[in-house]
């Protein structure tokens, strides 16, 4: 009821603002050129029209309550129902959104292979390794956020299965528990010894394994990337 009232008042405000603008234009066309203050008066009417519209918009916003988009959280408050359809469990949908939103659609940003001086012939391997690294960091970020007080534990299980399917599709066979342990150790090394971690990560793409070019910046970027994953996943459990 309040939402309808808000919409009606908003449209009335829009109509009033429109009529005010028309009146301002009419007034200026008749007297604007003949009066010194004609232009200033016309601008004043435009300001009044804007204020009228703004008040109507504010009334509609207040009476409408939370927007529909605010209810579209990644975490389904009712785990027995799917966030998409009855054939897909909510945790599977959530896990897919995490993968697509953080892993698949992400890249190394300003850490392009060209900037890191990756040889052209090695770029396919570079992109493959970068994808694997994002998967590991996202996996660890999800594990570290999936406390018992959140809705994430079943999502973590679904993400594990999804990740296993992704790896199998790429011809990689690995036990998911082993992957979880290896990913935790890898991210731990990144956070504890970022420079040496980054140097080791880039070593296979360089003639000199001890080459320091862009190592510190690459390490900093990967740390920021992991922390961004944690914040993104953690934010979805609030509210």
Of the three residues 32, 65, 98, the one that is the final residue of a domain is 65
212 and 105 in a single domain? The answer is yes
For residue 143, tell me if it sits in a domain.
yes
For residue 100, tell me if it sits in a domain.
yes
Q: How many domains does the chain have?
A: 2
CA dist 130 and 123 (Å) reads: 10
* Most confident listed range (50-64, 163-177, 187-201): 187-201
Q: How many CA atoms lie within 13 A of 6 on its CB side?
A: 14
99 and 54 in a single domain? The answer is no
129 and 175 in a single domain? The answer is yes
119 and 169 in a single domain? The answer is yes
For residue 30, tell me if it sits in a domain.
yes
For residue 74, tell me if it sits in a domain.
no
List, for residues 57-78, the tens digit of each pLDDT value.
Answer: 767 766 665 444 333 333 444 4
3-class secondary structure per residue, 15-74: HHHHHHHHHHHHHHHHHHCCCCCHHHHHHHHHHHHHHHHHHHHHHHHHHHCCCHHHHCCC
Instruction: Report which of 70, 74, 73, 26 is spatially closest to residue 46, judged by C-alpha positions.
Output: 26
For residue 159, tell me if it sits in a domain.
yes
pLDDT for 121: 93
As a whole-number percent, the residues of the chain with pLDDT over 90 amount to 30
25 and 143 in a single domain? The answer is no
For residue 82, tell me if it sits in a domain.
no
12 and 49 in a single domain? The answer is yes
CB contact set of 178 (below 8 Å; sequence gap of 6+): none
51 and 109 in a single domain? The answer is no
List, for residues 11-36, the tens digit of each pLDDT value.
Answer: 777 788 778 777 777 766 765 545 55
Confidence band (pLDDT; 50, 70, 90) for 232? confident
For residue 10, tell me if it sits in a domain.
yes
Does residue 85 have a pLDDT over 50?
no
Instruction: Report which of 127, 157, 129, 128 is spatially closest to residue 142, judged by C-alpha positions.
Output: 157
106 and 182 in a single domain? The answer is yes
131 and 211 in a single domain? The answer is yes
**Residue 193 main-chain phi, psi, to 5 deg:** -130, 70
Q: What is the dihedral of CA 158, 162, 164, 167, to 10 degrees?
A: -160
For residue 231, tell me if it sits in a domain.
yes
Q: How many CA atoms lie within 13 A of 58 on its CB side?
A: 6
230 in Cβ contact with 144 (< 8 Å):
yes
108 and 194 in a single domain? The answer is yes
96 and 169 in a single domain? The answer is yes
Of the three residues 65, 80, 114, the one that is the final residue of a domain is 65
Averaged over 167-179, what is the pLDDT? 88
CA dist 120 and 214 (Å) reads: 18
140 and 97 in a single domain? The answer is yes
Range scoring the smallest mean pLDDT among 98-112, 121-135, 167-181, 193-207: 98-112
Does residue 196 have a pLDDT over 90?
yes
Does residue 95 have a pLDDT over 50?
yes
Does residue 49 have a pLDDT over 80?
no
CA dist 22 and 86 (Å) reads: 53
What's the domain range around 169? 90-235
């Amino acid at each position: 009821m309040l939402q309808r009232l808000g919409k009606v008042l908003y449209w009335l405000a829009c109509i009033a603002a429109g009529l005010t603008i028309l009146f301002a234009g009419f007034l200026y066309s008749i007297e604007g050129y003949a009066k010194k203050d004609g232009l200033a008066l016309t601008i004043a009417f435009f300001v009044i029209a804007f204020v009228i519209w703004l008040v109507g918009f504010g009334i509609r916003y207040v009476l409408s309550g939370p927007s529909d988009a605010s209810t579209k959280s990644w975490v389904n408050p009712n785990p027995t129902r799917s966030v998409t359809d009855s054939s897909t469990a909510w945790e599977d949908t959530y896990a897919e959104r995490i993968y697509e939103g953080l892993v698949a659609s992400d890249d190394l940003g300003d850490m392009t292979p060209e900037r890191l001086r990756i040889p052209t012939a090695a770029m396919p391997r570079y992109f493959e390794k970068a994808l694997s690294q994002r998967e590991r960091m996202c996996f660890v970020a999800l594990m570290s956020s999936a406390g018992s007080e959140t809705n994430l534990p079943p999502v973590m299980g679904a993400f594990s299965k999804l990740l296993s399917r992704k790896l199998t599709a790429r011809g990689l066979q690995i036990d998911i528990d082993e992957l979880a342990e290896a990913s935790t150790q890898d991210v731990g090394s990144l956070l504890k010894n970022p420079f040496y971690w980054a140097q080791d990560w880039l070593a296979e793409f360089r003639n000199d394994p001890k080459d320091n070019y862009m190592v510190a910046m690459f390490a900093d970027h990967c740390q920021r990337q992991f922390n961004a994953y944690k914040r993104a996943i953690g934010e979805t459990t609030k509210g």
